[in-house]
Structures are given as structure tokens and as C-alpha cells.
Amino acid sequence: MIEYACFPVSSEIVLPFAGAFAHTYDISYFLLIPLSVLAGILGTSFCYFVGRLGGSKLLDGLTVRFPKTKKGIDASRTKFERYGAFAVCFGRLIPICRTYIAFIAGSVKQPYSQFFSYSLLGITVWNCVLIGLGYFLKSSWGSVQRYYQEYKLVILLAIMLALALLLFRKLHRKKTF
């Protein structure tokens, strides 16, 4: 709930850990998912209503007071303008955008029922994946470590290549404009 309410707690760390914890203590994956989705809906609804009541002035003030938020808020606005209501669902899967999309949806007065539906879908997908990673890899952690040790150079090269391609695309896109 805290992560979806924009506090600096990373879901990429908390949710897999929650999955591994649940696996260790024999807590059902199918119990953890609805609880985590409910917490996500509560947290993101808080941000939606803050955005709805405060509007764009609040977001502009936030970027002045906390300049590091400008990039995330601008990215979320861009996604919302480009994809409309679906950006709420899609934005749940994009780091940084996921944090601010509820404020944007609230500030543009997206109907809450629509916001709720799209958030529910996006949060469910995101939580299922991350909790699932922790839950299902917990029993195989020794294998994960062994494969990582054996293939870490290949993994690191693939990551570096992917980052280089992303950087190239970004730089190339700037030159074409």
C-alpha cells in the first residue's frame, strides 16, 4: 500500500520478498495476491484523490518543491495524453510512471470507476509477476544462484547490449527531431 501511495518503497524489492516469505511460511500465493492488490488499490486511490482535489497546481507545486519528481510526472502526463484511460493500466508496468499515474488520472478528473478498473488490472498483473518470482523461485534459489554464477558474463553482456541499444535509440530519436 505504501509503495502505491508514492512513498519510496520499491515494489520490485518488496513484492518478490513477500512471495519468498509466503513460500517459506507456507502462506498461499492465492491469498497473498488479493491482499497485495487490495493494498495497491488503497494506496493508489489515495494518490488519485489527492490529484483530483489538488489538480495540476498540486503537481506543478510538487515538481518545484521536489525537482526529481518532474521527470516522473512529465512521463506520466505524456503517457496519459498519448494512451488515455488505458495509460493507468499500462503505466502500472512502467517504473516511475507507475508512481505518478494516479495523480495524473485524478488531476484530469478521470472517472473513478474507470481509474479503479484499469488500476485493478495493472496492479494485479504487476503483483502476480513480482510475487510469483519470489514465491516460485524461493524453492529453487540454489539453482538460480548456480545458473547466475555459470552464466553471469552472458547475462551481464546481454544487459549491457540491451542498455546500449536503448541509449542508441534514444540518441537517434533526438537527432531525427
pTM (global) more than 0.75: no
Q: How many CB atoms lie within 10 A of CB 102?
A: 29
What is the pLDDT, as a whole number, of residue 100?
Answer: 80
Radius of gyration of the chain (CA): 18
> Do the Cβ atoms of 15 and 135 come closer than 8 Å?
no
- Is it the case that residue 140 has pLDDT exceeding 60? yes
What is the pLDDT, as a whole number, of residue 103?
Answer: 85
- What is the secondary structure of 60-109 as a DSSP string? HHHHHHSTTHHHHHHHHHHHHHHHTTHHHHHHTTSTTHHHHHHHHHHHTT
The sign of the torsion formed by the CA atoms of 50, 31, 90, 119 equals negative
Mean pLDDT, rounded, for 44-57? 87
The pLDDT-based confidence of 145 (bands split at 50, 70, 90) is: low
Mean pLDDT, rounded, for 88-107? 82
- Is it the case that residue 156 has pLDDT exceeding 90? no
Mean pLDDT, rounded, for 136-144? 73
More confident residue, 16 or 124: 124
Mean pLDDT, rounded, for 8-35? 87
More confident residue, 54 or 34: 34
Mean pLDDT, rounded, for 70-96? 81
